[in-house]
Structure 1
């Protein structure tokens, strides 16, 4: 068995050499100083005020560089986008308002509103005069008696008969067929005259116990409004039927149909191109594929920008004389 010799005890010189070698090794393998350490070392000796001013100056340089970029100014704000959207909507509504179909729809809606208001006003005016007519028809009968009760029915059945005539004239007038028969006009004025006379009679001078102008006018108000509505409504409806919702030379509404129409095609009215030229243009559009081989009158009207009468004539010419 071998015997190990005892390890010699290190001397102070050996310890110093070992420490020096360890320091050299750590210096070789240690990383270089970080930027933060360098910055911290650079700030050594700087006061808090100096550091704050240095940060403020650095921020100012960055802001000055960013302020030269106009990109934020090119981005629309919410308010700008709302205004642009509203402007685009207004422009499209304006263009839509010039469309013949839209103008026809607006006129029809306004006509319905006016007719409805006129009929409601007429009904209320006749209802307003019911009390005056009842007093005239009761002729001093006791309240609650049969004569007094039946007197309330005089104005309603006269008003219903009048509304039948006025309603028929209003409806037919809104469809372009004004009803101006003199018999119906006389019937209207007969009912209105009876209503006016029965309302005014008890309050006329010499009939009323104490004459009062305000009371007379108040009882004449209903019949006068009824007369005004009956007189004005046919005139307003006749004006609506004369409206032309299309552009110049391009009426939107079609012509009225007539019985026993001659077979010869009518020549287009005005100084525009004649039927031969329009038919030739339609054939060129068919050859170019802009119109179908057998186009309808409405498609021809829109393609040639002509009236419906002329479009039907061109359609018939294409079918009878194909080229």
Structure 2
């Protein structure tokens, strides 16, 4: 009999076997993901791809390698919006970009970019600040399918109204419609917003530093990780940032997530924006 919510011990064993199969068969380690969140997603995948049994899903994982992209898509959390949490993007516009303007070349790493909504939001901020031509955005995600959708830059048109409100609340002084075309119930973002964006697959669990950057964004991803993996990610971001570089986390992250690391000082802790300091060089938190 397969494990069910009414049989938590057996279901826990099945989940452990699924995680082990994913690690040994495909090299993806979900062992440090928050257990409750991971269990919910694996349960849903078991319903979507089988008879609801995690053990049956594990069997397919082992014997059907072509299923992996779909599983990674389901295990990731690709939900987002353009200019999600407008106050954060307003702070980036007003407090961070003016300081990044001092660099001759600006590199930004968006880790866990999902379907790309926040990547294109960044591109618009840079465009309106006159910085996009000397900027490069690296947008990474675990899921190849999510990256494919992000590259397309095509979204349901019904999102446009809310996204337009977000854009204006984030300090936009044009119309969001200037950046997309609409047809057949879809909106397609202008190709010019993609000209300095590179999409690439990257695992925060297993892979090393992706690039050297002045700004790293990883919003509402760490909440799905256990504390040791959160600390690993913060170390990755620290090692990616130049001294004085900025880190932007999601509003759902613990407010002390980066402050607990000695290498970050808050710029605006309520908005989860931090700046890298170098304690070895005698820098101190403000």
Asked if TM exceeds 0.5, the reply is no
Higher helix share: 1
- Provide the TM-score with structure 1 as the length reference: 0.17
Higher strand share: 2
Structure scoring higher RCO (CA < 8 A, sep ≥ 6) equals 2
- Provide the TM-score with structure 2 as the length reference: 0.19
